[in-house]
């Protein structure tokens, strides 16, 4: 029996990268999935899940809009009769705009998707989870939310906010049986980090990618998916209110050189 057998789970940002890897893994582990992304790529994710024998429905929606969040949570409940877990994974990077050139609008959009999105996922999922007396929530934060030097200002601030949101929510849910944790990816090869890998290839410096962490390599989406699976499963039944780096050991010392690869 899979670790999510019979569970109803939502993953946002499921169109590619970590979200797609998690979708495929969770369905192999028996979950009934609602895959959410504002990109049409979410339909390809669901196709791959179904081709592999899994059960999934695609919802093209914006995880930072309250009406959309209410919609895909209602979709999960109507499709599977319940909601057991949600991974608020959707996020945007915002690039590396110099501080003096950043605008309130730039900050607002990043915070809307990266921080308000997880808040909305929590707000609208907990009534279902609390009612049944169990369930789990995972939010994607970042090593950039733990220490400086890993990304741009608004992105780092949004991810630090996600970590705080997870910690404070854990105490708000005291005694309910509902758990919440965050994963903090390091350098993972996804669409968001594609410019880093492409620039390194153009310079012929691919060998330097990931060299700041003790494993001396970048991570892959399936490695984050595995952590998310653990946190949503009963194997993590006593794990709550934590933020877990999945970064090859980077944040053990965070030896950021301050120079582009």
Examine the pLDDT at 243 and tell me if it is beyond 60: yes
Q: Distance between CA atoms of 195 and 173, rounded to whole angstroms? A: 39
Average of per-residue pLDDT across 160-178: 98
Q: Which domain holds residue 151?
A: 8-244
- Tokens describing residue 233: 């499963």
Does any domain span residue 17?
yes
Instruction: Please state, for a pLDDT cut of 70, what percent of the chain lies above it.
Output: 88
74 falls within a domain: yes
Question: How many residues are listed for the chain in this entry?
Answer: 261
Instruction: Find the range with the poorest average confidence among 72-81, 196-205, 223-232.
Output: 196-205
Which of 18-22, 70-74, 204-208 is least confident?
204-208
What is the number of domains present in the chain? 1
Inside any domain, residue 256: no
- Percentage of residues of the chain with pLDDT beyond 90: 73
- Which of the four pLDDT bands, split at 50, 70 and 90, describes residue 210? low
Catalytic residue among 80, 155, 171, 238: 155
Give per-residue pLDDT as tens, 55-96.
Answer: 999 999 999 999 999 999 999 999 999 999 999 999 998 777
Q: Is residue 258 part of a domain?
A: no
23 has pLDDT over 60: yes
Residues 91 and 15: beta-carbon distance below 8 Å: no
What does the alpha-carbon distance between residue 77 and residue 42 come to, in Å, rounded to a whole number?
Answer: 19
Encoded tokens for 259: 């120079």
Residue 92 in any domain: the answer is yes
Which residues, other chains included, contact 79 with Cβ-Cβ below 8 Å and sequence gap of 6+?
8, 32, 34, 57
Q: Write out the two tokens for 72.
A: 């895909």
Where residue 27 sits, what CATH number does that domain have? 3.40.50.720
**Residue 149: per-residue pLDDT:** 65
C-alpha span between 176 and 104 (Å, rounded): 38
Does residue 28 form part of some domain?
yes
Q: For residue 261, what pLDDT is reported?
A: 43
Q: Examine residue 251 and state whether it is found in any structural domain, yes or no.
A: no
Q: Which two tokens stand for residue 123?
A: 């707000």
Is a pLDDT exceeding 80 seen at residue 150? no
Residue whose entry in the numeric block shows the structure tokens 């969770």:
26
Span 78-89, pLDDT tens digits:
999 999 999 999
Residue 255 lies in a domain: no
- Chain position carrying tokens 């930072």: 64
- Structural tokens at position 250: 């980077």
Known catalytic residue at 155: yes
């Amino acid at each position: 029996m899979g670790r999510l057998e019979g569970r109803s789970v939502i993953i946002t940002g499921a169109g590619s990268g970590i979200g797609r890897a998690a979708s495929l893994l969770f369905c192999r582990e028996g979950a009934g999935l609602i895959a959410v992304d504002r990109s049409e790529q979410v339909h390809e994710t669901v196709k791959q899940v179904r081709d592999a024998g899994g059960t999934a429905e695609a919802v093209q929606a914006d995880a930072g809009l309250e009406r959309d969040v209410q919609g895909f949570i209602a979709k999960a409940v109507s499709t599977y009769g319940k909601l057991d877990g949600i991974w608020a994974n959707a996020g945007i990077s915002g690039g590396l705009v110099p501080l003096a050139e950043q605008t309130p609008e730039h900050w607002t959009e990043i915070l809307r998707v990266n921080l308000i999105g997880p808040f909305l996922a929590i707000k609208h999922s907990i009534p279902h989870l609390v009612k049944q007396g169990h369930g789990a929530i995972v939010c994607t934060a970042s090593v950039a939310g733990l220490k400086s030097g890993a990304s741009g200002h608004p992105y780092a601030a949004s991810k630090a906010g996600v970590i705080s949101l997870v910690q404070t929510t854990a105490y708000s849910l005291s005694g309910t049986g509902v758990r919440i944790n965050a994963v903090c990816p390091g350098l993972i090869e996804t669409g968001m980090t594609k410019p880093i890998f492409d620039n390194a290839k153009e310079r012929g410096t691919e060998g330097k990618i990931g060299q700041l962490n003790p494993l001396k390599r970048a991570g892959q989406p399936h490695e984050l998916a595995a952590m998310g699976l653990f946190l949503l499963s009963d194997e993590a039944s006593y794990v709550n209110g934590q933020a877990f780096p999945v970064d090859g050991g980077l944040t053990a010392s965070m030896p950021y050189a301050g120079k582009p690869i």
